[in-house]
Structure formats: C-alpha cells, structure tokens
Amino acid sequence: SPVRESWIGGGKAERRGAVVVLTDVTQSRQMDEMRREFVANASHELKTPITSIKGFAELLAAGLVRDDRKAHEYLLRIRDESQRMTSIIEDILKLSSLEAEEYHPPRSQVDLIDVSKEAAEHMAPEAEKAQVAVTVEGENITLTACREDIYQMISNLMDNAIKYNRPGGYVKVRVHRVGDKAKIVVEDNGIGIAPEHQGRIFERFYRVDKGRSRKVGGTGLGLSIVKHVAASLGGEISVRSREGKGTTITITLPQPPPTGGGEIAL
Ligand code: ADP
C-alpha cells in the first residue's frame, strides 16, 4: 500500500524510532486502562458486601429487630459478608504480589500429587455438601516451586469444579508426565462453560453467572490467580468445556531437567 511504501522509504531510522515510541505509549495507555478498570471492579465488588453489612448492622443497632431468630440470621449474614470481603481482599493481594516484578516466593521440592491430595482432603466437607465425588490419581512428579502457590493453583481449580457442578457429579484430578512436561488435569462433569465465555474466564472478576458465583462464594479472581501461578512457573493453562456436560482445565508445566550428579549426598 502507498502508506507502507512511504514508511519503508527514506529516513528509516527516524521513522522506526517513532513507531517504537507509539507502541510504548499505547502499551502504557492500555496498562492505565487495565488498572483503572481493576480498581473500579474491585471497588464495586467490595461495595456490595459493605452495603449489606451496613444495612443489617443498622437494623440491629436501631433495635428494630425484635425477633431473636431474625436477629441471629442478620448476624450470620454480617459474618458471611465479612468473610466474602476478606476473600476478595486476600485474592487481590495475592494477584498483586504475583504481578510484582520482583516475585520470589520461597521454593522447595513440591510433589504435585501430594499437594493435590492435600487439597482434596481440605475440600472434602465442601465436596460432600455439594454431593460431588473427588478423586486424585497419577504419578509422583516433583518440582522446585512455591508449595503454597501450587496448592492455591490446584485448590482453586478443584474448588471451581465442585462449585460449578451438580449433585452426583465428579471431579477428577490427574497428575502425569507428557514428554518433558508435567500436566495437572482437573476434570468435572458439571455445568460447563459456553464457548463465548471460555476465552474470558481467566480475566479478573469475569464470571459467566455473577449470581451463581456470589452464591457459592466466588470472588471472580480464582482463575486469574491460577493463570498467574502457572505463568510464574513457565507453564500454560488451557480449557476445554461443553455447556451442560463439564469442564476440563489443564495446566502444563515445564519440568526441570534431571539433576546430574551435582547434588551433595546427605
Ligand atoms: P469465581 O470466584 O467466580 O469462581 P474464577 O475466576 O475462579 O471466579 O472463575 C471465573 C468464572 O468461570 C466462574 O465465575 C464460572 O462462571 C466459570 N468457571 C470456572 N470454573 C468452572 C468450571 N469448572 N465449570 C463451569 N464454570 C466454571
């Protein structure tokens, strides 16, 4: 095209310089926009529980609730909404630490199947309540990583697979090697995700069904955290889902090459 030709023409260096600057400005604008959107979303998400806490507290303080059972119910709502705010804030803090340029969590030798089993045990009461059967299987694969991060990554996926499920459903966690990669697969036969949402579920605060997510205690940040942790380990995440049939989320992580003889025997 003529425009292109004029760019390729004389004064190359100068014009190339200009292109670079333009890209930088666009990127920083995009970052600003993302930050602005994040702050707006976060404030909105926190405002919802605060509004109901305030409402219930005012009713109770004004002595307008004569019925003890009602009063107790309102106190429980205040407790639950406070817990909700705590979860949102914890997830925001986690995301911001994962996004910091200098993210160096403590690392140790982490066995993926051990962590998956621990998460399943921790979630047993929740699974039982939802009448969802959780199983963990696979091989022992050890990575050098932050155990807490791996735990959070796996438990967020399992938590979703239980929450967006139906009574009688299942969640299967599999850990295995494929070539030189480690795979963690979390499969459920729950409600599934329609194709138009599948690409967006890793965005912060994105939910397919806000009502359902809130009801089951979701913050909308769980999968963003999962994606960040996977990325911090040099890994990737993918989703396969059919609405009404179920969802499979796969995390693929690079494995360290086997350490050859350099280790000190203890
Ligand atoms: P939330 O806290 O709302 O669960 P997430 O970031 O973990 O937030 O997930 C984003 C959205 O993706 C959820 O609100 C839900 O709509 C959808 N989702 C995530 N996992 C599943 C799943 N296993 N089955 C169906 N929908 C899912």
Pairing mode, strands 181-188 and 170-178 = antiparallel
Pair of tokens at residue 187: 């499969």
Cross-strand pairs, 182: 177, 253
When the pLDDT of each residue in the chain is averaged and rounded to a whole number, the result is: 89
Pair of tokens at residue 255: 């494995």
Name the pLDDT band for 257 (thresholds 50, 70, 90): low
CA distance linking residue 213 with residue 208, whole number of Å: 8
> Distance, CA 68 to ligand 1 centroid (Å)?
37
Query: Using a 6 Å cutoff on CB, does residue 155 contact ligand 1?
Result: no
Query: Using a 6 Å cutoff on CB, does residue 116 contact ligand 1?
Result: no
Reported pTM: 0.85
Query: Using a 6 Å cutoff on CB, does residue 169 contact ligand 1?
Result: no
Model pLDDT for residues 84-143, shown as the tens digit of each residue: 999 999 999 999 999 988 899 999 999 999 999 999 999 999 999 999 999 999 999 999
- 3 state DSSP class of 194: coil
Q: List CB contacts of 256: < 8 A, sequence separation 6 or more.
A: 143, 144
> Distance, CA 149 to ligand 1 centroid (Å)?
19
* The ligand 1 atom nearest the CA atom of 217: 2
Model pLDDT for residues 235-251, shown as the tens digit of each residue: 999 999 999 999 999 99
- Strand intervals (E) in the chain: 108-111, 133-138, 142-145, 170-178, 181-188, 236-242, 246-254
ipTM score for this prediction:
0.99
> Distance, CA 67 to ligand 1 centroid (Å)?
38
Query: Using a 6 Å cutoff on CB, does residue 246 contact ligand 1?
Result: no
CA distance linking residue 43 with residue 35, whole number of Å: 12
Phi-psi region of 63 (alpha: psi -120 to 50; beta: other; left: phi over 0): left
- 3 state DSSP class of 266: coil
Question: Candidates 87, 134, 172, 207: which one to mutate for ligand 1, based on the most atoms within 8 Å of Cβ?
Answer: 207
Cross-strand pairs, 171: 134, 188
